[in-house]
Amino acid sequence: MRDLNGPTLPRRSRRTAALLTTGAAVTATLLGVSSVPANAAPTAAAAGRSARTAAAPDISVANVKAHLAQLQSIANANGGNRAHGRSGYKASIDYVKGKLDAAGFTTTVQQFTSNGATGYNLIADWPGGDAGHVVFAGSHLDSVSRGAGINDNGSGSAGILEVALTVAKQGYKPDKHLRFAWWGAEELGLVGSQNYVRQLPAAERQKIDAYLNFDMIGSPNPGYFVYDDDPQLEGVFKDYFAGKNIPTEIETEGDGRSDHAPFKNAGVRVGGLFSGADYTKSASQAAKWGGTAGQPFDRCYHSSCDTTANINDTALDNNSDAIAHAVWTLSGGSTTPPGGGKVFESTSALDIPDAGAAVESPVTVGGVTGNAPSALKVGVDIRHSYRGDLVVDLVGPSGKTYRLKDASSNDSAADVVATYTVNASGEHADGTWKLRVQDVAAQDTGRINGWKLTF
């Protein structure tokens, strides 16, 4: 380790261990580099990586609330609501779709007509998994015309959106196929979900192992209600909450009152969560859940005060995490990275001009689903007589630059042979990545021997 307080030596004679630059998004470790055959093609991951069923990750309630803030802004900019047939609803669909498209989902917008207005369902499929077994999570995205509908049902919509985006960020590889949906015109009578189920061929319907519905999951005076339509699905949620010491009750007021009904009527197993609407919280419920007895679970139900202020963050957080638990548990997947550990590398040597312009060595990635992982490994092999002269960056397919190593005037050691870990989850994995190296000081020269990306 370089002695930070050591004597300042003349530049040429200093031989100090270097501190590799680490940053928030990048960490580095020094590793030997195995020799690689010239022009190696992308090599598959080491055979036999065992997939293991992964525990669900925590869902960021801050991210869920950020989606709610976006939906509130949309309502504010569109006459105060996000109702069927109004501009605020289509803007809501566009927002959710944009996030999912960027994360690598396959999205479909299904149109229908109700009350003389065009309605929209948004369906998002996570590529991969057994198409014969679908785990399906849905929420209605429309509000009533009286207000922004942040708890009813921005909360459910934002919760499943963040679960879906977390699937992508984690590079989750489910054994079963994952599908998510945001329904239109639920408030007009489950119109969007009924339209979807009605047009679904029986063979496709039979592939749905479970439909999970989330309509109001952040009520300000919350209860923890679990749908009791299917004992196994009810158990998945009840076990989760039991593990968190959160008591639950079965949901008794909802039969037929939300988008799970068309699926249930078509013979699909359904489950879901609910934090309560206009019914009143009893004293015994307040004793176990907190909140206010004698008051509705959501006093702003179907009212103009159903805004971002009408959310209980703890309920939103707990329910979003419970959704992730159910999705991961029911789909039985693994956390193998989206690329399955695939390596893409360049073994082309490239000279680095002394005190000159940056050079770039490209690597093209293909066949990796979704976005790059939050722990993308970048292995570099740079030979140079004074590595303190070098600035090293990774450039993603989007053009975004990730700093791997800064120049350092007192790092006189030779060569940069290291593996960096970069949070590149904002990038599509497929595309051309570049290693950019610049020599910013005179008198020493070197070259890029090669570099590689491991997904």
- Contact positions toward ligand DTR, by CB under 6 A? 152-153, 186-187, 215-216, 251, 253-254, 257-258, 274, 277
Least distance (Å) from ligand DTR to the CB of residue 276? 8
Residue (254 or 338) nearer to ligand DTR, CB: 254
Considering the candidates 186, 187, 234, 427, report the single residue annotated as catalytic.
186
The residue among 313, 310, 334 whose CA lies nearest residue 60 is 313
C-beta separation of 289 from 247 below 8 A: yes
Residue (139 or 408) nearer to ligand DTR, CB: 139
Least distance (Å) from ligand DTR to the CB of residue 260? 8
With residues binned 3-state (H G I as helix, E B as strand, rest as coil), the percentages for the chain, rounded to 5, are 25, 30, 45
C-beta separation of 84 from 91 below 8 A: no
Residue (257 or 288) nearer to ligand DTR, CB: 257
Least distance (Å) from ligand DTR to the CB of residue 227? 7
Tokens in use for 328?
Answer: 């991961």
Residue nearest to ligand DTR (CB): 254
What is d(CA 436, CA 448) in angstroms, rounded to the nearest whole number? 10
Environment class of 36 (CB within 10 Å of its CB; exposed 0-12, middle 13-18, buried 19+): middle
Q: What is the DSSP letter of 76?
A: H
Work out what residue 321 binds among Zn ion, ligand DTR, none; the CB cut-off runs from 5 to 8 Å by kind. none
Least distance (Å) from ligand DTR to the CB of residue 189? 10
Work out what residue 251 binds among ligand DTR, Zn ion, none; the CB cut-off runs from 5 to 8 Å by kind. ligand DTR
What is d(CA 389, CA 442) in angstroms, rounded to the nearest whole number? 8
Work out what residue 277 binds among Zn ion, ligand DTR, none; the CB cut-off runs from 5 to 8 Å by kind. ligand DTR
C-beta separation of 370 from 338 below 8 A: yes
Beta bridge partners of 376: 422
Work out what residue 139 binds among ligand DTR, Zn ion, none; the CB cut-off runs from 5 to 8 Å by kind. none
Work out what residue 146 binds among Zn ion, ligand DTR, none; the CB cut-off runs from 5 to 8 Å by kind. none
Residue (252 or 409) nearer to ligand DTR, CB: 252
Q: Give the DSSP H/E element, type plus range, for residue 376.
A: strand 376-384
Q: How far is CA 401 from the centre of its chain?
A: 21
Residue (311 or 429) nearer to Zn ion, CB: 311
Known catalytic membership, residue 345: no
Least distance (Å) from ligand DTR to the CB of residue 74? 18
Footprint on this chain of Zn ion (rule: CB under 5 A): 152-153, 215
The residue among 83, 141, 145, 74 whose CA lies nearest residue 304 is 145
Residues with a catalytic annotation lie at 186
